[in-house]
Amino acid sequence: MNGYAAVYEPERERNESFGGSSAETYIGTVHATEATWDGQPGPRTLCGKDASELPRVHGDIPADTFDTWYPPGGGVTTICSRCNELAT
């Protein structure tokens, strides 16, 4: 059990084409929170951000024993260095 829930800052990327423009949301910086007793994200990230509005990373299961505190794959590319330092 890693004991941490992974949440992320949503990032929006604007796409322009001949048909107009659209915005796509993707996973930005991933943060760790201490998981609650039922596996949900806690109220603050380990680095001190308010986690109440941050979505959970898809596939995150705090009770699983991943090699890292965040789930492998799933579009995770940027990890908060402070959260990573405190979670490992």
What is the per-residue pLDDT across 13-59, written as a single tens digit (0 to 9) for each?
Answer: 666 666 666 667 788 999 999 999 988 999 999 999 999 999 999 88
Neighbours of 39 (CB within 10 A): 15
**Region 59-83: what's the mean pLDDT?**
83
* Per-residue pLDDT, 16: 63
Report pTM.
0.83
* Per-residue pLDDT, 60: 85
CA distance 10 to 35: 20
Cα separations in angstroms, 64 against 4, 9, 17, 71:
10, 23, 42, 9
* Per-residue pLDDT, 39: 87
| Contact yes or no for 10/23 (Cβ under 8 A) | no
